[in-house]
């Protein structure tokens, strides 16, 4: 009966989507967290969100894109006939791990396809026992609650299958159909036994693993590397997660460049030249540094070592992780935690500079592995064309800075480093399923790119159909006196106002010395490279303050969505241009009124009465246009508005001459 219901569900989905190709999931089966993504999952080509690669999120207590790779087991039955039962998967299992350490299996990826002897190095880092199973394979031992010497053994494949099963269920709920195929990613250094173990885990979860893809290859695919390359490239993938670090050096052979090298006529060939890493290096180390800092402070305060209960230890770990994340964007964080008992409430401030000093040896360990990988590949940093950042710990500013310094290239950070491998797996899945949107891969920029200006208008720096690579620079300034920071909103679209365009990201240029409006010189540069990655940088020329962001402007758009946006721009062109013109007139008129008003207050007593009266009338007329336009931009004639501004500009020439003359007299 269940099979009949499943078939009916598939038939209904197929009927609603017409001739719909099979959905193949892209899965990042990670050591710390796992994700599932999909690309081209809709028969409705107008639905851009459905056609583009996207990571699927859970609901309720499993909300968010990332599923912690953690499973908690219980044991039931009698001695000699124990059976393992799954009590929790994902976040609930992770959050309660400190309460059930020996029955909570995390980081099982370290055991996949390995012998118990091989796993001995990892055992001290795991809260559960690792024992030898059939053929000396590494297994997790789950003790019974009554007697921890007795229990049941589970294989890494079974644990991984529970994680994959949860991801499969998440995808089926989001897509409202049964899914039976997947592309799963693994580290580049996984051997045949580890890859086969991953396939076995998929089979246990009810998934046909169509292809095993190296994680660095998936990360490259997410950025379109290998899909739009014309010449071979050498790339480095720097993957720093919660508990592990890998660096891989890949050579990318474009599709059609070497027919013998590619296994698919329309996809590139990725050759792994070398790998290096550390299976016990990750963001968790930074969390432990912060925890140790707190413990040392408390021990010094109480003059004794304190053993905290499990709940407090978990809260301290969570606080450490939150502090680390906040210091990636903030310069200072105040740590506050109720430790209970005689320890009381703990408080202290931690600056990014202090944390970076603590982290420096940790980061240098990763950089040293990069050097090893390059030596193994017989390459120098200068021979690396692209650097791709993967893993949540690559958000740390010190990590990004050191990687850029080592390779001498700005790393790719446009895509969320936690999601990039899953997105790349979805791209590979779409290629296999035949739903890859290759026409959207950019030889030209499909939609214009710009920034938000005062009044909600859009200043376009790179116009649509510009060939890739493309670069544009433009100068801007402030419209408010004493402004010390400028928020830059990067936009994509063909309409003239922000509300009708797509925001790609925001960043803030801060630390600008206070200056009068219009004096700061803000240079904004847009650079789209051959892989379609947009880098936006801003520098205030007087102070030298800089800020930047990376985005992928085509991400999340289908070709049909691009066409619709272009049609809308044509339909609303006259109205949009008029509104943009009025908005610009308001901004510039306000600056004129400000400057002329200040000069009039300063030297008005030196002006002829008739000239001053005429000037004040022109000022009031222009103010009337500004007030009317701010109430309703449609209520003003832009030509009359512009004429009023020009009349005031011309009429104020005498005022400026008098003002300059007074300044010269006062300076003598």
- Strand extents, DSSP E, 190-242: 208-214, 233-240
The Cα–Cα gap between 331 and 350 comes to 9
Q: Pairing between strand 332-338 and 470-476?
A: unpaired
Determine which one of 41, 162, 200, 215 is catalytic. 215
Segment holding 573, helix H or strand E: helix 573-603
**Best CA proximity match to 286, nearest among 225, 350, 336, 342:** 350
The HSE-up count of residue 351 (CA atoms within 13 Å, CB side) is: 3
Catalytic residue list contains 460 = no
Determine which one of 158, 200, 233, 239 is catalytic. 239
What are the percentages of helix, strand and coil residues in the chain, rounded to 5?
A: 45, 25, 30
The HSE-up count of residue 289 (CA atoms within 13 Å, CB side) is: 18
**Best CA proximity match to 432, nearest among 581, 211, 644:** 211
545 φ/ψ angles, rounded to the nearest 5 degrees: -70, 140
- 3-state SS, residue 623: helix
The Cα–Cα gap between 372 and 370 comes to 5
The Cα–Cα gap between 663 and 502 comes to 47
Catalytic residue list contains 266 = no
For residue 65, what are the CA distances in angstroms to 57, 184, 284, 581?
A: 4, 16, 20, 42
The Cα–Cα gap between 58 and 466 comes to 39
DSSP 151-191: EEEE-HHHHHHHHHHHHHHHHHHHHTS---EEEEEE-TT--
CB atoms within 10 A of CB 340: 14
Catalytic residue list contains 109 = yes
Determine which one of 41, 91, 109, 321 is catalytic. 109
User: Cα dihedral sign for 168, 171, 176, 178?
Assistant: negative
CB atoms within 10 A of CB 110: 22
Determine which one of 28, 162, 427, 584 is catalytic. 28
CB 142, CB 128: distance < 8 Å: yes
Angle at 416 between CA 547 and CA 65, to 5 degrees: 145
Catalytic residues: 28, 109, 215, 239
């Amino acid at each position: 009966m269940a099979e009949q219901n499943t078939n009916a569900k598939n038939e209904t989905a197929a009927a609603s989507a017409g001739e719909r190709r099979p959905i193949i999931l892209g899965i990042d089966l990670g050591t710390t967290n796992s994700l599932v993504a999909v690309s081209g999952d809709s028969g409705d080509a107008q639905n851009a969100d459905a056609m583009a690669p996207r990571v699927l999120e859970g609901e309720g207590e499993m909300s968010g894109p990332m599923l912690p790779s953690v499973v908690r087991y219980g044991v039931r039955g009698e001695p000699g006939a124990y059976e393992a039962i799954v009590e929790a998967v994902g976040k609930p299992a992770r959050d309660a791990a400190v309460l059930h350490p020996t029955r909570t299996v995390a980081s099982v990826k370290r055991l996949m396809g390995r012998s118990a002897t091989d796993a001995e190095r990892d055992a001290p880092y795991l809260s559960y026992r690792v024992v030898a199973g059939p053929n000396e394979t590494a297994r997790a031992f789950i003790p019974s609650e009554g007697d921890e010497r007795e229990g049941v053994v589970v294989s890494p494949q079974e644990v991984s299958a529970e994680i994959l099963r949860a991801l499969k269920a998440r995808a089926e709920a989001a897509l409202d159909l049964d899914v039976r195929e997947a592309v799963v990613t693994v580290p580049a250094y996984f051997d045949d036994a580890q890859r086969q173990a991953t396939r076995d885990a998929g089979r246990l979860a009810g998934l046909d693993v169509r292809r095993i893809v190296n994680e660095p290859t998936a990360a490259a695919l997410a950025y379109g590397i290998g899909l739009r390359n014309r010449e071979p490239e050498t790339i480095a993938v720097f993957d720093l997660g919660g508990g592990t670090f890998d660096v891989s050096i890949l050579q990318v052979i474009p599709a059609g460049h070497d027919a013998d090298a590619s296994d698919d006529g329309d996809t590139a060939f990725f050759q792994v030249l070398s790998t290096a890493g550390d299976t016990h290096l990750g963001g968790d180390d930074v969390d432990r540094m912060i925890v140790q800092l707190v413990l040392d402070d408390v021990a010094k305060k109480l003059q004794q070592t304190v053993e905290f209960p499990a709940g407090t230890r978990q809260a301290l770990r969570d606080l450490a992780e939150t502090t680390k994340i906040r210091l990636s964007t903030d310069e200072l964080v105040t740590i506050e935690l109720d430790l209970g008992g005689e320890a009381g409430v703990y408080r202290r401030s931690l600056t990014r500079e202090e944390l970076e000093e603590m982290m420096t040896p940790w980061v240098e360990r990763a950089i040293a592995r990069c050097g090893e990988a390059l030596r193994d590949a017989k390459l120098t940093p200068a021979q690396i064309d692209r650097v791709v950042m993967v893993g949540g710990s690559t958000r740390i500013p010190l990590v990004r800075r050191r990687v850029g310094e080592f390779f001498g290239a700005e790393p790719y950070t446009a895509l969320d480093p936690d999601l990039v491998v899953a997105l790349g797996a979805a791209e590979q899945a779409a290629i296999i399923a035949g739903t890859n949107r290759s026409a959207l891969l950019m030889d030209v920029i499909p939609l214009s790119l710009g920034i938000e200006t005062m009044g909600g208008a859009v200043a376009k720096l790179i116009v649509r159909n510009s060939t890739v690579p493309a670069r544009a620079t433009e100068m801007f300034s402030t419209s408010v006196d004493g402004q010390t920071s400028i928020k830059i909103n990067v936009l994509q679209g063909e309409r003239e106002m922000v509300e009708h365009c797509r925001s790609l990201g925001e960043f803030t240029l801060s630390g600008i010395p206070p200056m009068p409006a219009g004096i700061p010189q803000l240079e904004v540069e847009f650079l789209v490279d051959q892989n379609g990655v947009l880098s936006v940088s801003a520098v205030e020329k007087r102070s030298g303050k800089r800020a930047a962001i990376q985005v992928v402007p085509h991400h999340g758009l289908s070709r049909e969505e691009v066409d619709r946006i272009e049609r809308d721009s044509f339909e609303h062109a006259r109205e949009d241009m008029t509104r943009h013109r009025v908005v610009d007139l308001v901004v510039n008129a306000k600056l004129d009124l400000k400057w002329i008003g200040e000069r009039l207050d300063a030297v008005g007593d030196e002006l002829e009465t008739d000239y001053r009266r005429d000037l004040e009338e022109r000022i009031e007329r222009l103010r009337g246009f500004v007030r009317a336009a701010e109430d309703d931009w449609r209520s003003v004639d832009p030509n009359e508005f512009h004429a009023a501004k020009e009349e005031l500009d011309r009429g104020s020439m005498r005022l400026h001459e008098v003002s300059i003359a007074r300044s010269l007299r006062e300076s003598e």
